């Protein structure tokens, strides 16, 4: 069964929330499962490209006469709308749920790739997310790929890693009805720390958020972290 959920926990217009254009469209229609159509995205791209050209002007860049930069404002705007910030302009993924058939152990998906932007400097951070939940015996499980889609939906926004970890946790908690706990670990390298400021390469930021049995029960928590360690050892 596919269900639609309001998965947003951040105010519309904020960097890691829905775009104001999509939020207004959802409000007028009363529907959550709509997105911006190509013509609406095209207008955003046009406006953003014009503004980015002025940004380059302010930096003293003669981009109009540089053959390698003459279309850069539009390229950058398209990259933001269609890729880097795509989660701000799209409807949340449709979630397929199934009866748990009495299963009440850990369901984990490890090594989900993430590509996101730091909202402070708009520089990328990349890494992996490990997510898990525990369904109740009479609860629901979700299609496995949906966990990946939830992570992707929230990753494609400008944000801090801590906030993304929280959003993913809260979304899985809402979707997996009757769950007994959710666990999320994100490990990422931030170019804002590698290429500016302290300029330290090879560092990774790790965030985790636990609820329910993952927080309360040491054995359950240890089992999840063993899954994470197994993935790390296999991919190191």
Q: Which domains does the chain have, with CATH numbers?
A: 2-88 (1.10.286.10), 97-235 (3.30.1130.10)
Q: Tell me what the pLDDT averaged over the chain comes to.
A: 91
- The structure's pTM equals 0.90
The tens digit of pLDDT for each residue in 142-167 reads 988 999 999 999 999 999 999 999 99
What pLDDT is stored for residue 108 in this prediction? 96
Find the range with the poorest average confidence among 146-155, 157-166, 188-197, 217-226. Answer: 188-197
The tens digit of pLDDT for each residue in 75-101 reads 999 999 999 999 999 988 888 888 888
Q: What SS3 string covers the chain?
A: CEECCCCCCCCCCCCCCCCHHHHHHHHHHCCCCCCCCHHHHHHHHHHHHHHHHHHHHHCCCCHHHCCCCCCHHHHHHHHHHHHHCHHHCCCCCCEEEEECCCCCCCEEEEEEEEEEEECCCCCEEEEEEEEEECCCCCCEEECHHHHHHHHHHHHCCEECHHHHHHHHHHHHHHHCCCCCCEEEEEEEEEHHHHCCCCCCCCCCEEEEEECCHHHHCHHHHHHHHHHHHHHHHHHC
């Amino acid at each position: 069964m596919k269900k639609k959920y309001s998965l947003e926990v951040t105010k519309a217009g904020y960097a890691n929330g829905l775009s104001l254009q999509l939020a207004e469209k959802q409000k007028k229609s009363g529907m959550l499962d709509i997105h911006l159509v190509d013509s609406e995205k095209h207008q955003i791209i046009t406006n953003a490209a014009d503004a980015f050209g002025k940004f380059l002007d302010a930096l003293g860049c003669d981009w109009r006469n540089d053959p390698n930069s003459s279309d850069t404002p539009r390229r950058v705007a398209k990259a933001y709308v269609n890729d880097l910030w795509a989660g701000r302009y799209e409807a949340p993924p449709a979630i397929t749920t199934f009866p748990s058939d009495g299963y009440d152990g850990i369901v984990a998906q490890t090594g989900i790739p993430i590509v996101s932007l730091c909202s402070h400097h708009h520089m990328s951070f990349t890494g992996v997310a490990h997510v898990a939940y525990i369904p109740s015996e009479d609860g629901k499980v979700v299609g496995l790929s949906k966990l990946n889609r939830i992570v992707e939906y929230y990753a494609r926004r400008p944000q801090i890693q801590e906030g993304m970890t929280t959003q993913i946790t809260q979304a899985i908690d809402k979707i997996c009805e009757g769950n007994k706990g959710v666990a999320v670990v994100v490990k990422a390298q931030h170019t804002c720390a590698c290429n500016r400021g302290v300029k330290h390469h090879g560092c990774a930021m790790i965030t985790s958020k636990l609820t329910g049995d993952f927080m309360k029960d040491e054995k359950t928590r240890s089992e999840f972290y063993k899954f994470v360690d197994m993935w790390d050892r296999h991919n190191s």
